[in-house]
Every structure is written in structure tokens, then in C-alpha cells.
Structure 1
């Protein structure tokens, strides 16, 4: 088959859900919620446009489970059924043309900007490295009863997502957020049942999955985004990641999306130097996916680094992955899936961004902000601007986020 034909094939998840093709829009930060944490019409416009572009499965940017634990201004928050009708409109808009839309559910843990929340919590009170400590406060260690409460919040959010009509949920277990922090021996230095050995450190994510499943039943898809590794000294390793995937598969996870890195080691942005062999195969985490595939047969997605239909199709044909994740390329070219399945290459190949200011360039959130700017334009009904100056996009988002942050603080005063 041609690459276009391979990408156009449908795929069946273990619970019977059919995805119409092999392309997944991976989660990206949109920051398009209201100051109260509600979704608004911008998310409907954005995901309606992405669905119209031919994607098989879209995964939303991180939706938080606690209004007191935001990752950034503009996060949507699901704590109950307050916004059920708005969520239903979002689900309908994002599932046009038989596209599926899943909600990524998250808690930031320590990875929340200083001053955004009343306090910052994490498995252990481990600070960020010195150059980032200016932006992220040292967290307070969670108490056992608080951990149980957070698990229940994940479950409640999943129940509401299902009731609103979305196609599934994804647990954010990557990129240094709370689930990832529990898995990491660097961030989780507890000595109770939630920390210590690797089986104890993955007890949290397994408890989240179990609680969610009890709320949504056996047929509603639950996936996870998981680091192949943290790429930090003393962090979550590839060996532990494979063991975690095996445990999740046994517990009934439907789909595992493989990524890697944290704000302190932003491998997922493509700025870290990779081997020539990895560059040739395009995907950053494909070698790890091959190791995972040898250990378990749960459906796998790899996101990060894909540039061509040939590279994507080759990864699928090899058997290492079942689906291919696209993120930044969708933010600047929302109709890219239809183009790839029609044999048309990307018009705007993705390259690492740079402002020329080293202190800014080495921070992981530069890429997040630039592509959130593009998503925001689509939320306003405008076209993306792939050639926009990075500094101009950064300034625009900083102004918007700063104003949203100020409004948020006033609401809480």
C-alpha cells in the first residue's frame, strides 16, 4: 500500500471503538477557558475546524480536575456538571465527520506557575532546578487523604466527560505533571504506600484508572499519555515505563500515547539533540515503542518528530505503533490529515523555534506558547500564522495570559 493508504486505514480499539484513520491530534495547551474555568465557543470553533481537517482522533489540551490547581490561566476545569451543556457543544463540534474527540484530564502538581494557585502540591517537596525555581514554587507534600481526594476528582471528571458525549478520556501521565511526578523517583521520594519502590510509585496512576473505570464502565475508552523516560538524572526510566505500560494494560487501558521529557528536560519539543538514526526515522520515541511492543500488545501512539507521510506509514507498517500522533503541525495546518491521506505533503514543516535569547529558548514553554497562539487564532475563527515572529506570538500570549491571570486572582480575592 502507499503511505496515504496506510494512514487512511481504520483502527479498532480493544473495547470496539473504531477510529476512521491512523492519525491522532495529540494534546496541546489551548488556554481557551474562561476565568471561571468553563469552556467557551472558541473551543467549539477550534475543534470543529480540526475535525473538518480529516483527523481520526483528537485529544484536547489538558483539562484540570481542580479549580485550585491550574497549570496555566485559561485552563478548562471539570469538577462536576456545572458546564455540562457547554461541554456537550464542544463534544458535538469536535466529532463532526466521524472524528472522535477525547478529553485529556490532568492535575499539574508542582508544575504550576508561581502565584497562579493559592498553593502548589506534589508527591514530595522537591524544588525545580535553580533557573526555573523563579517561575515554579517549591511544592508542599501531599497528605494521604489529599491523594485519595485527587483520585476521586479524576474519576468525577471522567464521568462528566462521558455524560457530555465525548468519545473517551486520556490521563495525562507525561511531561512532568502530577501523575508523572508520582511515577518519578526524583519527584516522588515518599516513604508510604504511594512512594519508594516502582510498584508503589505507580500505585497512584493505577488507582486513577480504576476509579475512572468504576465511573464510566467497561466500554468507554480510557487512554494515557506516558513518558518513555523523563530524561532527568534519577528520573523515570525506560525500564520502569515499560513495566508501567504492562501494569496499565493488565488494568484495561485502551490506548497508550508515548512521549517523553518534562519542563526541565523538554525532549518532546525536539530541541534536544537526537541520534542520526532517530532523525532519519523521524519519530523521537520510535525505538522505545519497539521495546514496548515487544513487551505488550496494547495499542500504541507515538507523538513527536514525524515530518512526512512516508515516515508515519513506515512506523505503522513496522508494527511498532498503531497510530501516529501529530501536534504542532496540526496547529499551523489543521487540514494536514486530509492532505497526507490525499498524497499531499505538509506545506509548513515544523522546525524548533528560537527567539535568539538563550534564557528564553532553553525553557520548554516557548513552544507551548507559540502553538497555543496558533490554536487561539483558530478559536477566534481566524487562520493560523505559521510564519509569525516567535517573539510577537510570545508577547501576544503573555499579554493575554497575564490579563487572564489577573482576572483569575480577582475572582479568588
Structure 2
């Protein structure tokens, strides 16, 4: 048997049918009211037939006033329950689980669609610069606001469980709010939510506990966690391993490892020469963290060839292979891996030649491929970067006009 075909039993007893997961990617496919669309749901129907044991959605935001991108789905109440049920049922008749990734952007949000930023501390983001200097520095969250956000994660989880999703994943990486609380660079609070690592980790632990209290012990809860922020004064590898131990003891069912933030995007970067043959960006870290936890580990970032994926799982350093962007171009990737019908899943995005635009292509070019899947079209490896950018720019303008009419 191909080792990637093996089942994975999670700590709460839930079973993943194989070791291949589509990691979260931003789909940016809600309508202008932040509701799931037929195109989004149909994209997941395509992926559900693709053979992966686990599909993790892109960002589902818990607060309509805190969104990362213009067309993020927001789930704060039950008004769209029928649409959420249709989304959850996209995997019906398959052995694939569908988990919802829950997120709050904190300070990492676009000026055009978020007039007021909230974050652990009043520390400005060093990238995605805001033109209006008065809006560059976020407002530090009050104690009540922190507790409200924790409840927001739990509330959204309960709604999605009732809608039929198989599990949830807390987005605790890439510089979003949970990641900001963990970072001593972004979190300079002096109360119980800042300072020591124990205090900085308090927020994510309370988010987990609140979700668990609402969904019960049999519903899978995972987290996406940075191996490190790769920033001076940021969340370190040693701190990450301590947080893994804390979350494992709390009862987390699956820990996905990634790394970096949008200030230092290691999750989109190049591997060191010493690890290039192993492809995965964070393999050195996963080998260390495996020594401190028995909780199932998923590694995302860099995997492109079947043989390397097989070797990684066979090494027992990790349990689940996470792949994101290739799934937008090779939607049948799970079946291809298991059947050995394709061995290489490299992708090559198109560029405009304009540095300020091309930095965003790592996200929006793949979002457009996902949209094609949902429209019943085949992925287009030759998709024009300029058409992708112009369409995205229009979405931002449209959302900005919407925010002004609130």
C-alpha cells in the first residue's frame, strides 16, 4: 500500500481516510454580503472528488467588521444556514472530511475595507502600508473585546458544526490575530494577555477551550501554527515548540505547521539549500517538534513530488501532508498521488513584471484558478496576470464603496 493511503485516527477518534490534505487557501469567493456563493461551493465539490482525506477551507471570518480580503466569507449568525449546509454537503458521498478554518485578521487587514484596526497592542504592521497615517496604528483590544472575540470563535464553530462541517481549524499562523497575540513583537501588553509566553499563549488556549465547550469532545479541532515568525523580536522556534506542548496537553486534535507572516512571508519563500531535496519549507522544525508531542502533525509548504511526500510520512516525523496552491491547478491531486498517476505537482504562476503587483500574485492568481473550478472550467496555467490583478482591484473598489454605505 502507498503509505499516503493509510488512515489517520485523531485523538478524539475521528478518522481521516488518508494522509493527504488540502491546506487552507484564500478563495475570496463570497458575494458582496460575505455569504458563500454557488461558485465557492462548487469548487469544493470538485475537490471532494479529488481524493484528499481532508479539505480545509480558506479564511472564514468570525466578525463582519474584521475581514482580511474583500470577498471573505463571514459566519457570525445562522442567517445563511442553508448555504452553509450546502457547502458542508459538498463532500457528501466521499471519504473526505471538510474542516472550516476560522480567522480574525487583527491588524493584518486592508485599509480599503477595514476602517478601524484592532490588535493585541497598538503596534503597526510593517507591510501592506496604510496611506492614512492616522489609520496605520491599530487600537489595542480591551479586555471585553478580547473576551468577545474568543466567544466569536466559539459561536462560529458551533454554527458550522450544526451546518455539517466535519471539524474546524483555528488560524494561528501567518500574522493574523492569534499569531499576533503569540508574537512578542506584536503583543507588548502588560496584563494577563501579554509578556510571558504563558500569557501570550493564553488567548489561543482560551479560544480552543471556548470552542471545545461549544462543540463537544467528539468534534475535531485543529490549529495552524507558525514554526516561527522569521522576524527579529518575533515568535521563535523555541516558543513555538512550547506552544505545541501547551496545545497538545489541552487536547488539540491536529496541529498544522507553517511559518512566517506577511511581513516575512516564509510560507511563500524558498527553502534553504540544505533542505531543498526534502522540498518542505519547515522540515527541520517538524523533526524537532515531533520529539515533544504525540499529537498528529500536518506539515504544509513546499511539497511538490509524490516520492518526497511518501518519504516524509514514512519517516514518522509527520502524519499528514498539507498541500495548498497545487490543489488549485491539480484538483484531482489526491487521486493522482494515491494512484501514482502523476508524480510532480509544480506550479508556475504568471507575472506582470511590476514588483508591487507581482507580490500579490502568490495569492490572487490561485484564487482565480479556484474560481474557474467553481465555474466548471479547467484550471488555466497560462492565466494572464494582468487580468487577474484588474479583476481583484475591482473587488477592492466595490467592497470599499460598500463599506462607505454602511
The TM-score, its normalising length taken from structure 1, stands at: 0.94
SS at match of 1:82: coil
Which residue of 2 is the match for residue 309 of structure 1? Answer: 306
- Aligned 8 A contact 1:127 1:133 in 2: no
Residue 41 of structure 1 corresponds to: 38
Aligned twin of 1:230: 229
Q: Is contact 1:269–1:352 with CA below 8 Å preserved after alignment?
A: no
Could you tell me how far apart the structure 2 residues matched to 1:131 and 1:400 are? Answer: 17
- Helix, strand or coil at the partner of 1:223: strand
Partners of 1:222 and 1:320 lie apart in 2 by: 21
Equivalent pair of 1:36/1:408 in contact (CA under 8 Å): no
Q: Which residue of 2 aligns with 1:398?
A: 393
Q: Check if 1:187 corresponds to 2:181.
A: no
Out of 120, 132, 138, the residue aligned to residue 117 of structure 2 is 120
Q: Residue 127 and residue 410 in structure 1: after superposition, are their counterparts in 2 closer, same or farther (change >3 A)?
A: closer
> Are the aligned partners of 1:227 and 1:241 in contact in 2 as well (CA < 8 Å)?
yes
Alpha-carbon separation, structure 1, partners of 2:404 and 2:183: 35
Quote the Cα distance in structure 2 between the aligned partners of 1:74 and 1:129: 24
Question: Is 1:71 the equivalent of 2:65?
Answer: no
Following TM superposition, by how much is the alpha carbon of 1:321 offset from its aligned partner in structure 2, in angstroms? Answer: 0.6
CA shift, 1:235, in A, is 0.4
Deviations 1:202-250 (A, max 9, x none): 0000000000000001110000000000011100000000000100011
Provide the secondary structure at the position in 2 that maps to 1:268.
Answer: helix
d(CA) in 1 for partners of 2:266, 2:99: 24
Tell whether the 8 Å contact from 1:113 to 1:137 is kept in structure 2 after alignment: no
CA contact (8 A) 2:307 2:343 kept: no
Structure 1 residues 5-154: aligned runs within 5 Å: 5-129=2-126, 132-134=129-131, 137-154=136-153
Q: How far has the Cα of 1:411 moved from its partner?
A: 4.8
Q: 1:400 to 1:336 in 2, by over 3 A?
A: same
Counterpart check, 1:408 vs 2:363? no
Q: Does 1:341 align with 2:335?
A: no
Residue 325 in 1 paired to residue 322 in 2?
yes
User: Would you identify which runs of 4 or more consecutive aligned residues in structure 1 move more than 6 Å?
Assistant: none
* DSSP-derived class of the 1:172 partner: strand
Corresponding position of 1:369: 364
1:42 Cα offset (Å): 1.4
Q: What is the distance in 2 between the residues matched to 1:130 and 1:189? A: 19
- SS in structure 1 of the partner of residue 129 of structure 2: helix
Q: Shift of the alpha carbon at 1:133?
A: 4.1
CA pair 137-375 structure 1, distance change in 2 beyond 3 A: farther
Matches of 1:240 and 1:288, distance apart in 2: 12
For residue 250 of structure 1, what is the aligned residue in structure 2? 249
Q: Within 2, Cα distance between the matches of 1:393 and 1:342? A: 33
SS in structure 1 of the partner of residue 84 of structure 2: helix
Contact 2:70 2:396 in 1 (8 A): yes
- 2:239 counterpart of 1:240: yes
Q: 1:346–1:369: structure 2 CA closer, same or farther, 3 Å change rule? A: farther
SS in 2 for 1:63: strand
Cα shift readout 1:304-355 (whole Å, capped 9, x = no counterpart)? 1011110101110001110000100001110011111111225651247644
Q: Once the 2 structures are TM-superposed, how far is the Cα of residue 134 of structure 1 from its aligned partner?
A: 4.0
Task: Determine the C-alpha separation between the residues in 1 that align with 2:380 and 2:344.
Answer: 12
Paired with 2:365 and 2:168, the residues of 1 have a C-alpha distance of 25
1:388 alignment counterpart: 383
| Contact kept in structure 1, 2:271 and 2:280, CA below 8 Å | no
Compared CA separation, residues 42 and 401, structure 1 to 2 (3 A) = farther
The answer for the alignment partner of 2:220 in structure 1 is 221
Change beyond 3 A, Cα 1:234–1:354: farther
How many Å separate the matches in 2 of 1:388 and 1:88? Answer: 32
Alignment pair present for 1:160 and 2:154: no
For 1:410 and 1:297, the matched residues in 2 are separated by: 49
1:130 Cα deviation from its structure 2 partner = 6.3
Question: 1:48–1:96: 8 Å Cα contact kept in structure 2?
Answer: no
Deviation at 1:92, TM superposition (A): 0.4
CA RMSD across the alignment: 1.7
Q: TM-score, normalised by structure 2?
A: 0.96
Q: Which piece of structure 1 moves more, 380-389 or 103-112?
A: 380-389
1:352–1:388 CA distance, 2 compared to 1 (3 A): closer
Is the deviation greater in 236-245 or in 125-134? 125-134
Query: Do the aligned residues in 2 keep the contact of 1:373 with 1:397 (CA within 8 Å)?
Result: no
For residues 324 and 220 of structure 2, what CA distance do their matches in structure 1 show?
A: 21
Residue by residue, what CA displacement relative to the aligned partner does 1:361-409 show, whole Å, maximum 9, x if unpaired?
4x4x331111111111112222211221333322232223433x14532
CA distance in 2: counterparts of 1:281 and 1:188, whole angstroms: 34
